[in-house]
């Protein structure tokens, strides 16, 4: 086959069916409905299979992207899935929620002239196919005698659990809420990431023998120190997420109708407040809803409000669309759905009525000044530009701070912002205790949390003296046993070598 060039590949991206805005704002079904086989194959043809694939480097977990695309072209879908899951075992989730434009697709050379290869959509297609076919990564697990406890069932905890279970450890995951999944469950709404997908991916973990214990608040029910002490865990991983919503401390913040996006989303996604009173948790959605912030959390809060029947939804953000941290696709979808964006606008005061309910908001216009430490241009207020508008609900989506519970209940070292301090191997100040994900970095992304979970799993394996084919080829001091009859067990699977 002649080598593909930018001229010979399909010039347009394959079609991804989406629900029309007028229809989708009335339901919670997925907006983007995914490729079918035919479209996936067309999209695969657009990959130039670069020898030095920039996309692999652009992926936080280093998925062999051209590799899995070639396998799809060869119609070896199962092979493609196996290759994918070597690096990422949650393709159906990451294909939906990763900010691909900043990662793999952002560096795809096709993107220099045309739209980049829709890597995220292909990843999602493969993940969905695996769920539909009931595939799981075949893994021969040889149990060792190690037990690992994991706190938090978000992407970081789950990724760590999966790798350690595959290495033969007995893994227990503790989750405070009554359902596992972390932000994937309580935060990201159904129309972006259906619960059925989260359930399917968690089901795969359970097949690896991982035990998930919900309704368990680690730190309070038992401490981290108890886990490595009395409870006998050989190692512990902490993936409790960032979680604590930030407020601004402006007048009127404690009026009824002011809440965090986390609260709004938890009430809807986890507690099904949209179906109140059939479900017991109320939300009391406003007719008009103003959301402060412009990240993924803000987009989700706005689009959920719209779907629950808000007539008007505003986005108030102090910078411009270009600085907005949300995935490009989500902003685009939000705009199509009729959300009114107030860029370069900061809230000054929330206005209340005589019953202490929100009636409006006072804002000030901003302009962009010099770049700040983060390289983003700092927004500065324009004098005398205050204005008021009417709204019945104000939702804060301006970021989160560290969850304090583990800091309150253990001697683990925190940094000055309250996040857990780790070294480059994700080891914390407590021996045998590792941490990763949002609780270490502050709010980030699903894929970075997963990457951290996997990295911690590698560190834990090293700490426990488990050698695996990923990190060790053949221990120099290989015993007769491991090489007997020419069978190299290290190659096929995991061999545990106690270092001392």
Partner 1 sequence: MVDHDNRRDGVTRARDLTSGANMDGIAASGFPILARTDFSDTTFLLEIYHPTMARAARPGQFVILIAHDHGERIPLTIADFDPAKGTITLVIQAVGKTTREMQRDFRKGGNILGMVGPMGEPSHISEAKKVICVGGGLGVAPIFPQARGFKQAGAYVIGVVGFRSSDLIFWEDKFRQVCDEFMICTDDGSAGLKGLVTEGIEAAIARHPDIDEVVAIGPPIMMKACAEATRPHKIKTIVSLNPIMVDGTGMCGGCRVRVGGRIKFACVDGPDFDGHDVDFDDLMTRLQRFKEDERMALEKWSENCRRLALEPSQTGEKGGS
Binding interface with ligand FAD (CB under 6 A): 97-99, 151-157, 174-177, 182-183, 187-188, 216-219, 239-241, 243, 265, 296-297, 300, 327, 403, 405-406, 437-439, 443-447, 449
CB of 370 to partner 1, least distance (A): 31
Q: Which stretch binds partner 1 (CB under 8 A): 80-88, 97-105, 241-249, 312-320?
A: 241-249
Binders in 277-296 for partner 1, by CB under 8 A: 277-282, 284
Q: Quick check: 437 and 155 in contact, CB under 8 A?
A: yes
The interface partner of residue 408, options being ligand FAD, partner 1, none and the CB cut-off 5 to 8 Å by kind, is: partner 1
Q: CA 495 to CA 168: how far, in whole Å?
A: 10
CB of 252 to ligand FAD, least distance (A): 20
The interface partner of residue 82, options being partner 1, ligand FAD, none and the CB cut-off 5 to 8 Å by kind, is: none
If one asks whether residue 232 binds partner 1 (CB under 8 A), the answer comes out as yes
The interface partner of residue 239, options being ligand FAD, partner 1, none and the CB cut-off 5 to 8 Å by kind, is: ligand FAD
Residues near 480 by beta carbon (within 8 Å), at least 6 away in sequence: none
How far out from the chain centre does Cα 218 lie? 22
Q: CA 46 to CA 218: how far, in whole Å?
A: 48
| Per-residue contact flags (x/-) with partner 1 for residues 342 to 371, judged by CB under 8 A | --------------x---------------
Among 243, 274, 379, 437, the residue binding partner 1 under the rule CB under 8 A is 243
Closer to ligand FAD by CB, 175 or 226: give it.
Answer: 175
Q: Which stretch binds partner 1 (CB under 8 A): 29-37, 70-78, 261-269, 487-495?
A: 261-269
If one asks whether residue 418 binds partner 1 (CB under 8 A), the answer comes out as no
The interface partner of residue 43, options being partner 1, ligand FAD, none and the CB cut-off 5 to 8 Å by kind, is: none
**DSSP 8-class letter at 380:** E
Closest CA to 469 of 439, 500, 494: 494
**Number of residues located near partner 1, criterion CB under 8 A:** 60
Query: 91 is written with which tokens?
Result: 């393709």
Closest CA to 292 of 332, 329, 328, 252: 252
Q: Residue written as tokens 């949002």?
A: 438
Q: Residue written as tokens 């560190």?
A: 459
Q: Quick check: 213 and 175 in contact, CB under 8 A?
A: yes
Q: CA 292 to CA 309: how far, in whole Å?
A: 19
- Residue 207's SS3 state is helix
Cis peptide before 374 (omega within 30 of 0): no
Closer to partner 1 by CB, 17 or 232: give it.
Answer: 232
């Amino acid at each position: 086959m002649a080598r593909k060039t930018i001229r010979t590949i399909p010039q347009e991206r394959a079609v991804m069916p989406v629900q029309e805005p007028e229809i989708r704002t009335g339901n919670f079904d997925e907006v983007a409905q995914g490729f079918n086989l035919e479209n996936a194959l067309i999209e695969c043809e657009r990959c130039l299979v670069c020898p030095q694939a920039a996309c692999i480097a652009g992926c936080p977990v280093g998925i062999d992207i051209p590799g899995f695309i070639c396998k799809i072209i060869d119609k070896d879908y199962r092979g493609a899935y196996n290759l994918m899951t070597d690096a990422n075992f949650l393709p159906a989730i990451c294909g939906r929620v990763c900010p691909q434009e900043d990662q793999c697709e952002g560096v795809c050379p096709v993107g220099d002239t045309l739209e980049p290869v829709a890597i995220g959509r292909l990843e999602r297609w493969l993940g969905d196919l695996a769920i539909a076919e009931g595939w799981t990564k075949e893994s021969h697990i040889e149990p060792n005698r190690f037990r690992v406890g994991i706190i938090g069932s978000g992407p970081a905890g789950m990724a760590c659990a999966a790798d350690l279970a595959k290495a033969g450890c007995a893994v227990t995951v503790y989750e405070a809420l009554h359902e596992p999944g972390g932000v994937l469950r309580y935060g990201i709404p159904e129309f972006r990431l259906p619960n059925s997908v989260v359930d399917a991916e968690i089901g795969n973990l359970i097949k690896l023998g991982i035990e998930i214990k919900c309704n368990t608040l680690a730190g309070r029910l038992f401490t981290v120190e108890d886990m490595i002490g009395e409870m006998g865990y050989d190692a512990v991983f902490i993936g409790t997420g960032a979680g604590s919503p930030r407020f601004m401390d402006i007048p009127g913040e404690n009026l009824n109708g002011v809440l965090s996006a986390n609260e709004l989303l938890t009430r809807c996604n986890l507690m099904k407040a949209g179906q109140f009173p059939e479900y017991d948790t109320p939300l009391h959605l406003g007719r008009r809803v103003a959301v402060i912030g412009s990240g993924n959390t803000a987009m989700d809060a706005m689009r959920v409000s719209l779907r629950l029947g808000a007539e008007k939804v505003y986005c108030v953000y102090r910078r411009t669309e270009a600085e907005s941290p949300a995935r490009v696709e989500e902003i685009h979808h939000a705009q199509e759905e009729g959300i009114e964006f107030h860029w370069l606008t900061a809230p000054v005061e929330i206005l209340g009525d005589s019953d202490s309910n929100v009636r409006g908001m006072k804002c000030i216009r901003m302009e962009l000044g010099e770049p700040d430490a983060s390289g983003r241009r700092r927004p500065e207020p324009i004098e005398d530009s205050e204005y008021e508008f009417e709204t019945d609900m104000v939702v804060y989506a301006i970021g989160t701070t560290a969850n304090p519970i583990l800091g309150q209940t253990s001697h683990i070292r925190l940094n000055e912002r309250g996040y857990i301090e780790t070294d480059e191997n994700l080891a914390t100040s407590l021996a045998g205790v590792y941490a990763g994900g949002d609780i270490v970095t502050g709010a980030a992304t699903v894929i970075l949390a997963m990457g951290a979970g996997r990295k911690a799993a590698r560190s834990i394996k090293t700490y426990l003296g488990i050698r695996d084919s990923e990190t060790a080829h053949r221990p120099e001091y290989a015993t007769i046993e491991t090489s007997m009859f020419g069978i190299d067990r290290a190659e096929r699977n995991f061999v545990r070598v106690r270092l001392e």
